[in-house]
Amino acid sequence: MNHKICVIGLGYVGLPLAAEFAKKYIVKGFDISKKRIAELNACTDSTLEMTTDQLREVMGKNMTATCELDDIKECNIFIVTVPTPIDKHRRPDITLLIKASETVGKVIKKGDIVIYESTVYPGCTEDDCVPVIEKVSGLKFNVDFFAGYSPERINPGDKEHTVSKIKKVTSGSTPETAETVDQLYKSIITAGTHKAESIKVAEAAKVIENTQRDVNIAFINELSLIFNKMGIDTDAVLKAAATKWNFLPFRPGLVGGHCIGVDPYYLAHKAQELGYNPEMILAGRRINDNMGSYIANQTVKLMIKKGHKIEGAKILVLGITFKENCPDIRNSKVIDIIHELKDFGCGVDIFDPWADKEEVREEYSLELTEKIEDLSSYAAVVLAVAHSAFRKYEPEIMSLLDGSNMVVYDVKSFFERSSGRL
């Protein structure tokens, strides 16, 4: 087949995938954001997943970016990579997925294949997305057009495990489609592929990857709560336990972002629809969702012990993105720490050299501090995200910690151990 590929959604997942395909195929990148299209056509990536040089290798050659439907009508493979978040009630929000399916429905032709990469609950592709395409296009599924599912495995900010180096799960709505989809990805994924038995199996495999991590991190977070009450250093316990060959090296901390902090709710939603309440999954979510509030409360308790007046106390929060060395602020649990500290009446400054100031203002109605002026003016410092850039502040913070009544709450065990440091 002479593949002409359209990737719909050019964010953290879609852009690197489109660029990789563009090394071998003609690729159209489609996104509804005119701002995003403009920056990509200028070979700039605000997500920092790709460098200008990397974009120059493909843009204007095998790959073009557009927000016009007419530009993608000639494509015969449509790959959907839009976000699938949760709403304020922690229920799956597939609005963007449905809109992307409507877009596909307007341009899909007989013989074409649509492949979904967005994280969903098992059954979503065939039960929710495909009917939209059928309705808009007037074509019949598995007669006129076909579908596949190949879950994304992008790790934002990770320059080692890039798209071609991560094994890809593939699937299709018919045996022939499954083989076509598998061969398509196999042509660019050097790590190889795994062809799943069905679309539902591939969907389920994706959603449990992050659910498993979520449950394991929740277990370690719960241990840290228990050990804190016992006066035991959790970090020291984990280092001792890790000397056994089969101990799993999970760490306590905040669980945010658009994957681990979201995907378990997709699986739980489907389970509850079928009349089963997933107790372990939801228990893990409750523990992890409460960690921000817990960290803020522990910080305030330490401040009280050191004689600080809490009302009006200045606190510096280092980091607001959901993970280190990455500009992604979606579903960041650092927000929970900030809100809780503000509820105590504290004045909170937020410093993050990776985050976009305008994006933070728009998403969370918060202002970022441009630079750190005087560390000694803060009653407490909360290291919430382990950006490498924060390492340069360690000597001064440790010096202030040892020589004053400053409180340092190191969520990520980023700084070296020091007397009086938490």
Give the angle 176-180-183 at the CA atoms, nearest 5°.
135
First to last CA, the chain: 60
Does residue 75 carry a catalytic annotation? no
CB 336 within 8 A of CB 296: yes
CB 203 within 8 A of CB 273: no
77-80 and 113-116 as β-strands: parallel, antiparallel, unpaired? parallel
Count the neighbouring beta carbons within 10 Å of the beta carbon of residue 239.
12
Which of 269-273's residues contact partners 24+ apart within 8 Å by CB, and which partners?
Answer: 269/91, 269/92, 269/121, 270/121, 270/122, 270/123
- Alpha-carbon distance of 381 to 375, in angstroms, equals 9
Please name the helix (run of DSSP H) or strand (run of DSSP E) that holds residue 148, with its range, or none: strand 146-149
The DSSP result for 184-219, as a single string, is HHHTT-TT-EEE-SSHHHHHHHHHHHHHHHHHHHHH
- Alpha-carbon distance of 155 to 352, in angstroms, equals 20
CA distances from 222 to 216, 227, 332 (A): 10, 9, 20
- Please identify which of the residues 6, 129, 259, 346 carries the catalytic annotation: 259
6 DSSP β-pair partners: 28, 78
Six-digit token pair at 101? 């399916």
- The catalytic site residues sit at 259
